[in-house]
Structure 1
C-alpha cells in the first residue's frame, strides 16, 4: 500500500482541495493481489487503489471510454514473423499504466482509506491524472501512449491500432504490440530495441522483462537454431483445473 501511494504522489495523481458545491466525491477501495512471476516461484504481493467508477455519471465524470487492445491474430502473425526471420522478441510491462493518462474531466475522490492526511480529513482528492477504476482510465492511457509513439515516428497499422511500426533505411524495422500495460518489441537490431526501451523508461515507469517468455497467459518457447516458436496455455489450463478442484483428477483414458 505504501508503494502504491508513493507511485500516486510521484505521478502527481491528485491534489487535496475542498469539494465544490454541487459536486460529489467518488469512493475508492484497496484491491489486493498475489502475483507469481514466470522467472520466480516467490509470490509478489500487490495493493492497488481503485476508484469506484460505477458511481460516475456520463456527461459529468466521463464521455468516451473505448480503448483498443492488440488482437490475438496480430500477436500470432508477428510472433510467426519473428520466428521465420529470427528476430528479437523483448517484453516490457508498464507499472501503474493507467496512472499516466491525463484527465480531461473534473473529478473528485475521497481520500484513500488509511491514508487520510491529519488535519485535512475534510478535504477531498481532485484527480489530476487517471486512476484505476475510472471508466475512462483505459482510454486516457491509450491516448497518452499513442501520442508517445507518434512522437517517436511509429505508425499504427490500419487493421490493428495496437500494432505500432517504425521503418528504417535498408528495410530494418521495429514492431511494438500493446495490450493495456503489456508490450512486446520485435526487431532485428538490438541497439534500436534498447534505444526504444530507454525512451519508454524516460516517459513511463517501465519494467524490462527481457526476452519474452509469456504474453497474456501464453507461454512462449523458441528454438532459434531451427527458427521455430511455440505458444501454449499450459499454465492457464492448470489454473482452470485448480479453480474447479480438478488438478488432481485422473484422465478418462
Structure 2
C-alpha cells in the first residue's frame, strides 16, 4: 500500500482530491458531475484512475444518492435504461484494445453536444422507454470505454423534478457502474490495484457529497436543468479536446 500512496502523491494527489471533491459536490447537487468532470481531467494527469477506479467511486456516490432520495426513484423507467447498459457494457469491455477508442470518443462527444443544442432549442428529450433503452445502451458502451457515460441519461431525464433526476440517475449509475466494473474485471482490467486507487479517493468523495446535501434544496428546477446541460456540454467538450490533442 505504501507504493500505492507514493504513486498517488507522485500524480499530484491534492489536485486529484480537488477534482473528486468538485465532481462529488456537483453529483450530489444535480445528479451528474463526478464522471463527467473527473474523467477528462484525471485522464490528463493520472490516467491509471480511468476507467476502473473512477467507476468504483462513481458507484459509491450513486448508492448514497439513491439512499438519500429513494422515494423519487423512477424504477420503471430505469429498468429499460439498465437493460441497454447491460447489453452494451459486456461487448465494450471485450472490445477494449481493438476498437478505435479515439474515434468513438470524438463521435460520442459530438453527439452529446448536438443533444445539448437540441435541448437549448426547446426540443428536450423525454424519459420514454425507447429513449431510456437507447440512452442506456450508449451510456453502457461509452461509459465502459471512457468512464464518461452519464450524459445520455442526464439529457433524457433533464425535464423531470430535481429529486427524481438525482435519484434516477443515481440508481442508473449505481447498477450501471457495477456492471461495467464486473465487465472490466472479467477481462482482467479491474483488480486489487484499481480497487486500492478507488479507496484512496473516497475521502474527498464523501466530503463533496456531504457539502452538497446542505445546498441541494436551494436549487430551483430551471437552474438544475441548465446545470445538467452545462455539465454535459463541458464534459463532452473536454472529452473532445482530450482526443484531439492526444
TM-score in terms of structure 1 length:
0.23
Greater RCO, 1 or 2 (C-alpha within 8 Å, sep 6+): 2
TM-score in terms of structure 2 length:
0.24
Per residue, is there more strand in 1 or in 2? Answer: 1
Per residue, is there more helix in 1 or in 2? Answer: 2
Computing the radius of gyration from Cα coordinates, the structure with the larger value is 1
